[in-house]
Amino acid sequence: MPRMKYVSTRGQTDPLSFKDAVVAGLAPDGGLLIPSEYPDVRDRLDEWSSLDFLDLALAVFATYVDDIEPDEMRRLAADAFACFETDEVAPTVTVGDYRILELFHGPTLAFKDVALTILGRLFESILNERGTHLNILGATSGDTGSAAISGVRGRSNIAIFVLFPAGRTSPLQELQMTTIPDENVHCLAIDGSFDDCQSIVKQSFANLDLKSAYSLGAVNSVNWARLMAQITYYFYSHFRSGEAESTFVVPSGNFGNIFAGFVAREMGLPIERLVLATNENDILARFFETGRYTRGDVHFTLSPSMDIQVASNFERFIRLRLEDPTAVREFMSAFAATGTACIDDGRAICDYVSPVTVDTKETLATIADLHKSHAYIVDPHSAVGIAGARRLGLDGAICMATAHPAKFPDAVSKAIGVKPTHPRLDGLSGLPIRRTSLPASLDAVQGYLREHAVG
């Protein structure tokens, strides 16, 4: 019997094993799955500090996974990390006063590869063992889609359906999805915003008949396995810094990346400060200032992967702070009904969290400054974080670089007059396109799914 159990943030689901939690994605009661406890690894930090990325990842995973053989886990993780351009997977480079944690060396050149290369392989392993199939349904504002597709393309017993807001992802991001030739990949260009896409996905998962008839699974950052994979690089980069405590600067959208930092801190990693950096879509930053979580209008910015008003992972934070699933349900239903919810007893405010909001001008200026002073080029998402660190005067902070600059050539060239390139992206534009345009309607998407699902 596995020891580690996964429970719903809303507390109305029977506990699941790790493998069941991976396959389920969302909890059946509409909440998010979380481990029943965050293991305390303080007494292992010394031992962990000298491990390479793969062994450290396996050490982290072993605290959360007890129903997959260690050898199988090693095979999956080693195979996943072999897709990265650097042996180190997530190297840190020093640029001026900052440590830049480069998370963009995976197959699609975005930080989401760190988790999704593993998740695709976990899915395949579990499905093969169980002799079942899975239809993955996800919404993307850009990077998740191509990284998710890359993780599962061509794998047996899996089909993937990715919804994205037509015309709102960068042209390159769209090409990275729509030029994948594998038949199990379905790119759905939705006539609407990212939040429309996400809402169609959420409603589909909430339809339990549909969910079980088609074995729907999720790869969005709601999947616990993704967060688990992301925990690794907080430990890894901290150990490489040689400091007693670390400050992490995290460009945030769906609250997945930074939530892994909260978990690392719960596990005992000495994190002095987490800087939550947002673009003009500042719902999260406002929450950490005021305790009030209020939906605003979506702004379209230079950092489209952070153009998000409803952060799907935020509920996990609410559960962490409020502890009580009933309070989580109340918070989430107030937000769903009125577009606003509040924690007014002070528990929203964490003294170790610094929210910061960065606009387009400051983002461009930061890209230009880093290029001029250090000949280092960052993408606009990473620049939002670094701009925040500069404004707060956080020398020595570990700033996460979440995408390769060549993924956002137009924005970068606005700042420095040159379009960065990468060999993996050159040449995409000549390839045949596979995609389907659909209206922002639940019926249209479910109709498509019925026709093309595997199993």
Ligand X SMILES: *Cc1c(COP(=O)(O)O)cnc(C)c1O
The residues annotated as belonging to the active site are: 112
Distance, CA of 36 to CA of 15 (rounded, Å): 8
Distance, CA of 142 to CA of 403 (rounded, Å): 11
The CB-of-433 to ligand X minimum distance in angstroms stands at 22
108 binds ligand X (CB under 6 A): no
Query: How many CA atoms does the CB half-sphere of 428 hold within 13 Å?
Result: 21
Site for ligand X in 406-425 (CB under 6 A): none
Q: Which residues contact 323 (CB under 8 A, 6 or more apart)?
A: none
251 binds ligand X (CB under 6 A): yes
Distance, CA of 306 to CA of 70 (rounded, Å): 35
The CB-of-150 to ligand X minimum distance in angstroms stands at 13
Whichever of 184 and 252 has its CB closer to ligand X, that residue is: 252
The CB-of-251 to ligand X minimum distance in angstroms stands at 5
Binding segment toward ligand X, per CB under 6 A, in 12-20, 129-137, 253-261, 440-448: 253-261
Rounded alpha-carbon distances, angstroms, from residue 177 to 130, 308, 348, 440: 29, 20, 38, 19
- Considering only 305, 357, 363, 366, the residue that binds ligand X (CB under 6 A) is 305
Return the DSSP state at 214.
T
Binding segment toward ligand X, per CB under 6 A, in 71-79, 110-118, 199-207, 413-421: 110-118
- Considering only 403, 411, 438, 453, the residue that binds ligand X (CB under 6 A) is 403
Distance, CA of 162 to CA of 435 (rounded, Å): 10
End-to-end CA distance of the chain: 29
At 112, list the tokens.
């989401």
What is the x/- site pattern for ligand X, positions 330-369, by CB under 6 A?
Answer: ----------------------------------------
Burial (CB < 10 A; 0-12, 13-18, 19+), residue 404, is buried
Site for ligand X in 185-224 (CB under 6 A): 221
Binding segment toward ligand X, per CB under 6 A, in 197-205, 207-215, 245-253, 323-331: 245-253
- Considering only 13, 193, 198, 402, the residue that binds ligand X (CB under 6 A) is 402
Q: Which residues contact 281 (CB under 8 A, 6 or more apart)?
A: 253, 296, 298, 299, 301, 306, 307, 308, 309
The CB-of-254 to ligand X minimum distance in angstroms stands at 3
306 binds ligand X (CB under 6 A): yes
Q: Which residues contact 131 (CB under 8 A, 6 or more apart)?
A: none
At 113, list the tokens.
């590869």
150 binds ligand X (CB under 6 A): no
The CB-of-111 to ligand X minimum distance in angstroms stands at 6
143 binds ligand X (CB under 6 A): yes
Distance, CA of 30 to CA of 114 (rounded, Å): 26
Return the DSSP state at 394.
-
Whichever of 8 and 144 has its CB closer to ligand X, that residue is: 144
At 432, list the tokens.
């045949």
Whichever of 35 and 106 has its CB closer to ligand X, that residue is: 106
Amino acid at 77: A
- Considering only 256, 325, 405, 420, the residue that binds ligand X (CB under 6 A) is 256
Q: Please, which contacts does 367-373 make with residues 24 or more away whose CB atoms are closer than 8 Å?
A: 367/411, 367/412, 367/415, 367/416, 368/415, 368/416, 370/95, 370/96, 371/415, 371/416, 373/96
253 binds ligand X (CB under 6 A): yes
Whichever of 25 and 251 has its CB closer to ligand X, that residue is: 251
Whichever of 325 and 380 has its CB closer to ligand X, that residue is: 380
Question: What residues line the site for ligand X (CB under 6 A)?
Answer: 110-112, 143, 221, 251-257, 305-306, 381, 402-403
